[in-house]
Copies of this chain bind each other. A is one copy, B any other.
Amino acid sequence: MVLLDLLGRRWALRIVWELRGDALTFRALREACGDVSPSVLNTRLKELRDSDLVTLDEAEGYVLTPLGRELLERFLPLVDWAERWAKRG
C-alpha cells in the first residue's frame, strides 16, 4: 500500500479534500486547511504533484488532476460513512 505512505501524512488527505470543488490559490488552500504553515503545505503539494494527484494551473491555482479526481471519487463513500460515524453514541 504505497498510497498509505503518501496519504498517511499530516494534511495530505485534507488537501485533496479541500480541492474537491474549484481551484484554490496557495493562500486560499492554506486558509481552508485552518492555516497550515506554508512550509508544510508546500512540502505536501510537492509530493502530491509528484504523484500526479494535484497540479498548479497558472491561471486558477491548485486543482486536482484527473487522477486526483479519481481518488476523490473512491473516497466519497468514506465521507458519507464518516458523518454517521462521527455521530455515534
Contact = CB atoms under 8 A, between A and B. Distances in A.
A2 B70 contact: no
Contact of A79 (B1, B14, B81): B1
Contacts of A75: 78
Nearest to A70: B81
Contacts of A80: 74
Interface residues of A, number: 29
A13 B7 contact: yes
A8 interface: yes
9 pairs of A and B residues whose beta carbons are closest in the complex: A3-B82, A74-B77, A74-B78, A2-B86, A74-B81, A8-B13, A4-B14, A4-B13, A8-B10
Interface of A: 1-4, 7-14, 17, 51-52, 67, 70-71, 74-75, 77-82, 85-86, 88
